[in-house]
Amino acid sequence: MNQEEKRALIMEFEKNRQMLAGVAQQKHQLSVQLEVMKLSVEELDKTTEKQVYKAVGNVLIPKSTEEMKKELQEKIESTDLRVKTVEKQEESLLKKLNSIKSKVEGSEKEESEDEDKKDKKSKK
């Protein structure tokens, strides 16, 4: 592998590493949102109130507790799917990074072996 190919692989590795960081951040944000929604449903289960208020922008809108629970459950399902999709992206990027890493390390090992052979020949 020549220096140009190696440089291109390293640049691709860095790009994928940055993408992985973005995906990990997105996964964390979605996980936090998911936990908040689950806690909200738990609180709705505990309440004896028939009506609650939903914040829409700067306005509070009255909604029945059951409607609100149903809406939150749907959001939980959709967010959970998004988390799973992001996890698949994360896995894919990790595999790609490991593949690139092994290619670069393999080429460095070959270069090192070639230099060792040259050194042994020059010593004779």
Measured CA to CA in angstroms, residue 36 lies from 25, 43, 61, 77, 96 at distances of 17, 11, 19, 13, 33
The single residue listed with the structure tokens 């670069």 is: 104
pLDDT for res 114:
65
pLDDT at 12: 94
Instruction: Report which of residues 95 and 108 the model is more confident about.
Output: 95
Only one residue has tokens 């270069």, namely: 111
- pLDDT tens track for 39-48: 999 999 999 9
Lowest-confidence segment of 3-7, 9-13, 52-56 by average pLDDT: 3-7
pLDDT for res 124: 58
Q: Cα–Cα distances in Å, from 50 out to 37, 44, 62, 63, 65?
A: 19, 10, 10, 9, 5
Average pLDDT over the chain, rounded to whole? 91
Q: Is the pLDDT of residue 59 over 90?
A: yes
- Residue 62 bridge partners (DSSP): 53
Task: Please tell me whether residue 54 adopts helix, strand or coil conformation.
Answer: strand
Question: Could you state, in order of their start, the residue ranges of all structural domains in the chain?
Answer: 3-102
CATH C-level class of 3-102? mainly alpha
Single pTM value for the model: 0.77
Residue 28 vs residues 91, 92, 97: alpha-carbon distances, Å: 15, 17, 20
pLDDT of residue 41: 96
